[in-house]
Amino acid sequence: RKAVQRITTGSKALDELLGGGVETQSITEIYGPYGSGKTQFCHQMAVTVQLDEEKGGLGRGAMYIDTEGTFRPERILQIAERFKLDPEHTLKNILYARAFTSDHQMIVTERAESYIKERDIGLIIVDSLISHFRGEYVGRETLAERQQKLNKYLHKLLRLALGYNMAVIVTNQVVADPTAFFGDPNKPAGGHVLGHGVTARLYIKRGKKDRRVIKLVKSPYLPEGTVEVAITQGGIED
Ligand code: ATP
Ligand code: MG
């Protein structure tokens, strides 16, 4: 088996929190409320994975599975410029796929395998992992089926991550946690299936002005911790 590699997030503080960056051979989840910066994080990582290894990337391309239609090519161009990458080339190195339903999302991901080899993809992004699942399976009686399908999907992603020494980043939404007396009333959607299915879990929320607070809430070997970053024209930074 190949050694695990790490992709820089563009923030020193966040890289340190993650033990060096986003890992290959695992699934990293980022969850948080609307407008907290999940999609910004995805755009950023689609660029930084393309950096040379000595600059913190893998020197490989990205695949972006978009379920909400929020991918913005202009944003990639801006972030690429900050990292002194050729913007158009960086954009071309992102294989973009829109997924219109949860079934479609499964199929797109299955078909990704041939592209991963062909285009040397080092990162798969699924933004958002859960929106179609939540939209299509409403009501208690469909929950078990939804969770089973979600579980299957997560295994598919993990298999790809392991097979190709790739990183996988998924975004997730928050739901109200009625049991939260103190602290944050938000918890990640997807229940135990998602909680167990992902390797590392990050929580992002708004801070003052352009600041964002990011907390590592689950890791197989790193302590919990919180850092602050900024979202600017150039993406996520310290
Ligand atoms: P949702 O749950 O709705 O998908 P999200 O967590 O994906 O939300 P993002 O779309 O990543 O949220 O974040 C949007 C926010 O990112 C904007 O409100 C703005 O604060 C910030 N942002 C976006 N583009 C820029 C930019 N060019 N410069 C600075 N900040 C930006
Ligand atoms: Mg988003």
Q: Specify whether the CB–CB gap between 217 and 234 falls below 8 A.
A: no
Ion ligand 2, residue ranges at CB < 5 A:
38-39, 70
Q: Map tokens 């801006």 to a residue.
A: 78
| Residue-level pLDDT at 85 | 98
Spatial separation of the C-alpha atoms in residues 197 and 184, rounded to whole Å: 22
Nearest CA to ligand 1 atom 9: 37
Burial annotation 113-124 (CB, 10 A radius, 16+ → b, else e): eeebeebebbbb
Residue pLDDT tens, the chain, 238 long: 799 999 999 999 999 999 999 999 999 999 999 999 999 999 999 999 999 999 999 999 999 999 999 999 999 999 999 999 999 999 999 999 999 999 999 999 999 999 999 999 999 999 999 999 999 999 899 999 999 999 999 999 999 999 999 999 999 999 988 887 777 778 999 999 999 999 999 999 999 999 999 999 999 999 999 999 999 999 999 9
The total number of structural domains in the chain stands at: 1
Q: Which domain holds residue 184?
A: 1-237
32 labeled binding residue:
yes
Predicted pLDDT at 185: 79
Cβ atoms of 201 and 188 within 8 Å: the answer is yes
Report the C-alpha gap between 88 and 164 in whole angstroms: 26
What is the rounded CA–CA span in Å between residue 47 and residue 62?
A: 8
Task: Give the pair of three-digit tokens for residue 122.
Answer: 């080092």
Flag whether 38 is marked binding.
yes
- From residue 187, how far is each of 31, 53, 133, 182, 205 by CA, in Å? 9, 35, 17, 13, 12
> In a mutational test of the pocket of ligand 1, which residue from 31, 36, 47 has the highest number of ligand atoms less than 8 Å from its CB?
36
CATH number of the structural domain spanning residue 27: 3.40.50.300
What ipTM was reported for this prediction? Answer: 0.99
Q: Atom 16 in ligand 1: which residue has the minimum CA distance? A: 37
Query: Which residues does ligand 1 sit against, CB inside 6 Å?
Result: 32, 34-40, 70, 210, 231-233
Question: For 69-150, where are the E strands, in sequence order?
Answer: 94-98, 121-127
pLDDT at 180: 77
Q: pTM to 2 decimals? A: 0.97
